[in-house]
Amino acid sequence: MEGTATPIKSGAAGAATFPGSDSRKFNYYDPKGRKSTHYEDMTLDVQPDPDRYLLQDWIINFPDGTPTYSKDWTRCKSVDWHKYRAVDQEWEKTHYQRQSTICGTVQSVIENGRRSGAAARFDKSWVKVLQDHLGAYKHAEFGLGTSLMQAQRYGFTQMINNAILTNSSYKLRFGQDLTLYLGEIGLDIEGGIDKDAGKKHWMEDPIWQGTRRAIEEIMASSDYLEQYIAINVVFEPLVGELFRSGFVLQMAAAHNDFITPSVVSAAEGDYERNLANCVELVHNLLNDQDYSLHNKVIIGEWVEKHAKLAHAAAAQLQPIWSLPRVKVASFPESFDLARNRFNNVLQQCGLPVPAVTA
């Protein structure tokens, strides 16, 4: 019709007029709930792709032609990667606030404990355990955090990137918490704490070599979702929680230590959030309208592979339970709880339980 302007196809900001284009609320996406959340407004489509609004295709490619972000960076497939929403709805501002709160709480616990002379009353056998084995475990947390830091770069959407990156941040913070904690209480313990003992045990003690191998196998994966799922669905319940909850939190009080559980329990809270985020992503993949069976096979392979490594790593930790003077918990009991936790996580995801933990 004469006088009707031909629409211009443009990726420039403000080029298009559409219902709600002058609104201060984002309404171009479908929220997960009845109303959009601040988390969705701040995170969804921060990283667009050619299937959503990026009219000019990827702006930058790698020299071999690989685009800025590629769906081929994981063996899993999805009709809509943007469907995922992290359960904890964490984005930059809320993450910094939460980390700051945790750091302040941990530091207050340590300061109050030192002020009351608590560390000087720790049982000597327990001090040795903290020095050698809690000192070794901080390297496990650092390894997991480093793996997730690398993995997050390859997530296809900002929602997935955020969940993996905040997971990395929590692991690295906890590794740092342990390093600073051992250094500070060492000032109040007769003879101090050998700052190099943890690394020596991590590198040389047979007790920790299975854990090292399990983490290094995760880090060696080129599939970012394999790394993310292997850490949260497999390694954490079978090894991480086993050591933190099944050993440290159980044994500490019987050795006059009421500080360490408060420091370590922060990591248990971190894991609950990270696990919920990961299970939600796995649930999306296993219920994808086109690729559910494909994803179930792929993720099942990952779980089977890493469960064998984590199960072996957990079994090698058994001698640690005999080191404290007071034996409050036994390794078989703690290991049974860890296997049950792992199996329950798989059931939440809708995945079969591997033979090694059945």
By the 8 A CB rule, do 212 and 314 touch? no
Residue, of 267 and 13, whose pLDDT is higher:
267
Answer yes or no: is 69 within a domain.
Answer: no
- Which is it for the CA torsion 323, 119, 201, 240, positive or negative? positive
By the 8 A CB rule, do 131 and 193 touch? yes
CA-CA distance, 287 to 293, in Å (whole number)?
Answer: 8
Query: What pLDDT is recorded for position 162?
Result: 94
By the 8 A CB rule, do 188 and 119 touch? yes
346, pLDDT greater than 70: yes
Answer yes or no: is 166 within a domain.
Answer: yes
Closest CA to 159 of 279, 284, 27, 45: 45
C-alpha distance from residue 87 to each of 278, 310, 334 (Å): 9, 26, 28
Answer yes or no: is 85 within a domain.
Answer: no
Answer yes or no: is 300 within a domain.
Answer: yes
Q: Which residues of 20-42 are buried (b: 16+ CB within 10 A; e: fewer)?
A: eeeeeeeeeeeeeeeebeebbbb
8, pLDDT greater than 70: no
Query: What is the pLDDT confidence band of residue 20, given thresholds at 50, 70 and 90?
Result: low
Which structure tokens are listed for 351?
């995945």
Answer yes or no: is 153 within a domain.
Answer: yes
Percent of the chain past pLDDT 70, that is, above it, reads 93
Arithmetic mean of pLDDT, 288-314: 97
Instruction: Please identify which residue in the block is written with the tokens 């002058």.
Output: 22
Query: What pLDDT is recorded for position 68?
Result: 87
SS (H, E, C) the chain: CCCCCCCCCCCCCCCCCCCCCCCCCCCCCCCCCCCCCHHHHHHCCCCCECCEECCCCCCCECCCCCECCCHHHCCCCCCCHHHCCCCCCCCHHHHHHHHHHHHHHHHHHHHHHHHCCCHHHCCHHHHHHHHHHHHHHHHHHHHHHHHHHHHHCCCCCHHHHHHHHHHHHHHHHHHHHHHHHHHHHHCCCCCCCCCCHHHHHHHHCHHHHHHHHHHHHHHHCCCHHHHHHHHHHHHHHHHHHHHHHHHHHHHCHHHCCCCHHHHHHHHHHHHHHHHHHHHHHHHHHHCCCCCHHHHHHHHHHHHHHHHHHHHHHHHHCHHHHHCCCCCCCCHHHHHHHHHHHHHHHHHHHCCCCCHHHC
Each residue's pLDDT tens digit, 209-220? 999 999 999 999
Query: What pLDDT is recorded for position 259?
Result: 96
Answer yes or no: is 218 within a domain.
Answer: yes
CA-CA distance, 157 to 51, in Å (whole number)?
Answer: 12
Residues in the chain, total: 358
Residue 11 phi/psi, 5-degree rounding, is: -100, 5
Q: How many domains does the chain have?
A: 1
Answer yes or no: is 228 within a domain.
Answer: yes
CA-CA distance, 281 to 146, in Å (whole number)?
Answer: 21
Query: What pLDDT is recorded for position 53?
Result: 78
By the 8 A CB rule, do 264 and 317 touch? no
C-alpha distance from residue 333 to each of 132, 137, 235, 320 (Å): 23, 21, 18, 14
Question: What range does the domain containing 306 cover?
Answer: 98-351
Query: What pLDDT is recorded for position 59?
Result: 83
Q: pTM value?
A: 0.91
Residue, of 6 and 346, whose pLDDT is higher:
346
Query: Residue 61 pairs with which residues in a beta bridge?
Result: 67
Query: What is the pLDDT confidence band of residue 4, given thresholds at 50, 70 and 90?
Result: low
Answer yes or no: is 299 within a domain.
Answer: yes
Residue, of 45 and 211, whose pLDDT is higher:
211
Arithmetic mean of pLDDT, 243-250: 97
- Give the CATH number, domain containing residue 191: 1.10.620.20
- Share the mean pLDDT of the chain: 92
Query: What is the pLDDT confidence band of residue 18, given thresholds at 50, 70 and 90?
Result: low
